[in-house]
Chains A and B, each alone.
Chain A
Amino acid sequence: MLSTVMVEAAARSRRTIWMTLIGVVLAVVAAFAAATAVGPETVVAVINASIRGAIPIALGAMSGIFSERSGVVNIGIEGMMLMAAYVGFMINVGLSYGSVPAALQAEPVRLGLSIAGGVLVGGLMGLLHALLTVRFRVDHIISGTVINTLALGLTGYLYLPGATTGGRLPPAVTSPLTPDAGLFYWVGEIVLEKGLITYLTVLLIIVFTIALFRTAWGLRTRAIGEHPRAADTLGINVHRLQYLNLFFSGCVAGLGGVFLTLEAVGTFERGMTNGRGFIALAVMIFGKWHPLGAAAGALLFGFATALQGQLQFFNIKIPHQFVGMLPYLLTVIVLAGFVGRARPPAHSGKPYDVE
């Protein structure tokens, strides 16, 4: 009986791999087909827009996985992102003033400090969430709402219209290829020419996947999200690990926030996260609390967003409000139809009392 169980599990994972492979092949074929139809420029533009849309969602979803895997529901991702976006932007603004020493104004230092500042603020928001939920046993949803409201209110109030900066993140690597290189040129346009945070995100997804499933930290984190009492009886300090992971969670959400103000857009607007933190949660569920799954979900959402942008260019006789609904509609359909039985970490959202 045991062996059948394991054979079934193996078959399941093999099936997943096959499905992924088939999905990738189909996507490439579709891209080629589309390229012959509308020209490679459009296809590459859509792909790049997909990636741009996917990054903050993917980071938000990572943030969600960090906290939910440790047993804390985090609907405050939106707020953490917004706060970090604001702080990152304001540091950038501040360091761009003429009176600031030139050493600090230099691009790598200025942007590095801006990113670090935003990420740190995100982390602190994460710690606040941990403090409220772990220490003071506030309901997780309420604490998350508090954080969202706080961020929206604070950034809205402190917002300086018309603040300017010395510029946003440039591409970290520039493509040496020219259009003569054909396919390679287009591939280069997709793979290269991206800002630092985009590469960081890809790296983070990989590192996080390995860390979660192949390190002691990951094992313990998954354990406290499933059954904190069991971990406690083995001498694991549940609350300390929750604080640590919520700090990470906030930092990653913060990175998603500064991506918006320091890499993608370059400026801050009121409420500019625009629900990405919540979409990220949906994507996290779509990915079944697995970083790779969530990354795939984020790409899907980014693709829908990009497509929506393209469709609005074309003169299609659909009211643009409906086209604008596309990504969200897709989220609903994907969540309702394709996810199937997603099982959240068993102890997520409940307080844990050490005796």
Chain B
Amino acid sequence: MPTDEIVLEAIDICKQFPGVRANDHVNLSLHKGEILALLGENGAGKSTLMNIIYGLYHADSGAIKVKGREVTFVSPREAIHSGIGMVHQHFQLIPVMSVADNVVLGEEVTRGVLLDQTEAARRVRELSQQYNLAVEPGAIIEELPVGMQQRVEIIKALYRDAEILILDEPTAVLTPQEVEDLFKIMRDLSDRGVSIIFITHKLKEVLAVAHRIVVMRGGQVVGSALPAESTPESLAALMVGREVLLRVHKEAARPKDVVLEVANLSAHDDRQHPALRKVSFEVRSGEVLGVAGVQGNGQTELVEVLTGLRHGDSGQVRINGKDLTNASPRAVTSASCGHVPEDRQRFGLVGDYTVSENLVLNSYFEPPYAAPPSWRTLPLVAVLFAVPAIAIFAALAALWGEIQRLVVWPLVLSLFGITDVEAASRDAMKGPYLIELVETVVVALVLGYVAARLAFWLVNWVSKRGPAAGQTPRAGLVFNHTAVDAHASGLVAEYDIRTPSVETPGGSLSGGNQQKLVVAREFGRRPRLLIAAQPTRGIDVGSIEFIHQQIVAQRDAGAAVLLVSAELDEIMALSDRIVVMYKGEIVATVDAGAVTREQLGLLMAGAHAEDVLRSRPAASAA
């Protein structure tokens, strides 16, 4: 519970990064036992401010006071000693080490020179009991679910006697259930007098758990509010600086023919455990099918099998009537399927490639991006043809020589009763060369022609993979930068991707803009089938609004959309029909209008569909 005592004050903090003013005269104060929500879009400067408070960055100007005393932190070490603990946006845990090792690292318990691992484990267990943070000290981090890993992070801070706890976007990676657990832990800590700064850009969470809300935008604090006096709309407007549509507007769906048909699909996950068990469903043109479920119930594997990234064990996948079970990703793409992958850093884009290159990752081999050679590039292409041609020629010539030696000459000579071919050929060497010369020329011409045709065919075959047969302009071998850049400029404008230029590396964009880039690439082709996995994970409200509108627009333009999301709100807002996945199975299929949030939550937690859906929504929705 918050008290009047101020434990932390940031006064007039400024921090300049090359080209960005990340913190611009920021003031912030934190009371003892308070949960202070720091709300702001991506890039608002929240993490920067926290890193300054934690001693990881140094402010250009301004001051920090802990319990009224001014402090300067050279490194996190001093911040830790002042009772500040921080759980970073990206967990700072060592995956291969145990929980206890991670907790004590840097503040080890020793007996003599040796680590006292029993004592370390005991202290971890003690802390986890004291604060209801159930976790096993001996467990290896990488084998724990993210929710547990987060607890380890919190224990790390508490182990160092943190009285001020900074949680930087702790919920971004959590399932709804884990978020609930985290909130309970936070309230518990606050009751024990721990002060918490909770960073997020999710409005519902702020209203659920915060005692006070401070909003940042563009490096500045733009306002503060109390949860009781705020609505999601008012907070969103403060955060984005304009009115934001939190609920997408959409007409009723008008589903037409079936585009995606999945029948009895089964698959294993990376650890060879069954991940999908006989999953069947279909998605029609003009509808959004939402796949709800707590993360790790097979959704990831489902999308991977559909898009050719994982091998299914049994079952069938048909897209537009074509059997594409275990087809290659290229084949799936060519069947007019767009895919927004859940892990955009790993599967969505190539960080080192430019924005324009990233925007043609799914079509670079098609015209006009892959163009026939121009006069300038011709020499290069000639070399490309020459290499296989010469190789084929040499191989054919060698083959012909062997055939002569082994078959032709023995045969011919045997007609004349000569059996010692070696001797005969030695004799022949003394004879006139004319015949040999003629033969060489003829053979060279014949083989040369065959080799050239083969090489031509080979190169063409390689370069023409991609666009389906009968598609218009011929693809070529040359990457057409002009066309690629023009394409990129169009999409950047249409999808409002904030980037300095199309030549900027994709990886340097902010999360929201990276996602818009992926969406632009996949949606820009107007695919018949759209598979969007966690399309708005970890991005800001403005970008979420935009991507949601785009998904609805695609649906209205006749695409079949398969939407996989761990965010119930997103599923509820966008889907026309919803399937719920639990332990690799589809446990319920419902119309979006006929189910409540609570019912979905129960289904996701494994409750039986009959039990949950028997009580008609009318009862609870009334």
Contact = CB atoms under 8 A, between A and B. Distances in A.
Contacts of A231: 105-106
Given A234-B76, A234-B105, A235-B77, A229 B92 contact: yes
A20 interface: no
A235 B106 contact: yes
Contacts of A222: 94, 97
Nearest to B90: A229
B392 interface: no
Interface string A1-43: 0100110010000000000000000000000000000000000
A334 interface: no
Interface string A120-161: 000000000000000000000000000000000000000000
A107 interface: no
A12 to B, nearest CB: 12
Interface in A236-253: 236-237
B529 to A, nearest CB: 36
A227 B93 contact: yes
Contacts of A180: none
Contacts of B139: 2, 5-6
Nearest to B58: A355
A216 B95 contact: no
B77 A355 contact: no
A223 B97 contact: yes
A331 B35 CA distance: 59
B105 A236 contact: yes
Contacts of B156: 234
B101 interface: yes
A346 interface: yes
A229 B93 CA distance: 9
B114 interface: yes
Contact of B94 (A227, A343, A355): A227
Interface in B555-603: none
Contact of A216 (B78, B94, B115): B115
Contacts of B51: 355
Interface string B95-127: 111000110111110100111000000000000
A220 B105 CA distance: 7
Given A2-B139, A5-B140, A233-B92, A219 B56 contact: no
Interface string B58-99: 000000000000000001111010000010100011111100
B602 to A, nearest CB: 23
Given A226-B94, A226-B97, A215 B114 contact: yes
B86 A233 contact: yes
Contacts of A215: 110, 113-115
Nearest to B57: A355
Contacts of A343: 96
Nearest to B55: A235
A222 B113 CA distance: 17
Given A220-B106, A226-B95, A233 B76 contact: yes
Nearest to B92: A230
Interface string A321-355: 00000000000000000000001001000000001
B143 interface: yes
Interface string A92-105: 00000000000000
Contacts of B88: 233
Most buried by B among A215, A235, A343: A235
Contacts of B110: 215-216
Given A5-B143, A215-B114, A227-B92, A235 B76 contact: yes
Contacts of B313: none
Interface string B166-194: 00000000000000000000000000000
A214 interface: yes
Interface in A66-104: none
B108 A9 contact: no
B241 interface: no
Nearest to B75: A235
A225 B315 CA distance: 44
A232 interface: yes
Contacts of B104: 219
B223 interface: no
A9 B93 CA distance: 20
B101 A219 contact: yes
B101 A214 contact: no
B76 A216 contact: no
Contacts of B102: 230
Nearest to B88: A233
A229 to B, nearest CB: 6
B136 interface: yes
A287 to B, nearest CB: 16
B138 interface: yes
Contacts of B95: 226-227, 346
A344 to B, nearest CB: 11
A74 to B, nearest CB: 21
A69 to B, nearest CB: 12
A60 B143 CA distance: 33
Contacts of A233: 54, 56, 76, 86, 88, 92
Contacts of B114: 210, 214-215
A219 B115 contact: yes
B108 A226 contact: no
A234 B101 CA distance: 12
Nearest to A8: B143
A227 B106 CA distance: 13
Nearest to B74: A235
A222 B156 CA distance: 18
A84 B200 CA distance: 56
Contacts of A346: 95-96
A233 B51 CA distance: 10
A9 B94 CA distance: 18
B426 to A, nearest CB: 33
A296 B96 CA distance: 23
A174 B92 CA distance: 54
A216 B106 CA distance: 8
B105 A219 contact: yes
A355 B80 contact: no
A230 B80 contact: no
Nearest to A213: B115
Interface in B277-291: none
Q: Lowest 4 CB-CB distances: which A-B pairs, in order?
A: A235-B77, A234-B106, A230-B92, A216-B108
Given A226-B96, A230-B93, A343-B96, 10 more contacts: A215-B110, A215-B113, A216-B110, A222-B94, A226-B95, A227-B93, A234-B76, A234-B107, A235-B80, A236-B106
Interface of A: 2, 5-6, 9, 210, 214-216, 218-220, 222-223, 226-227, 229-237, 343, 346, 355
13 contacts: A5-B143, A214-B115, A216-B108, A226-B94, A227-B93, A231-B105, A231-B106, A232-B56, A233-B86, A234-B156, A235-B106, A236-B105, A346-B96
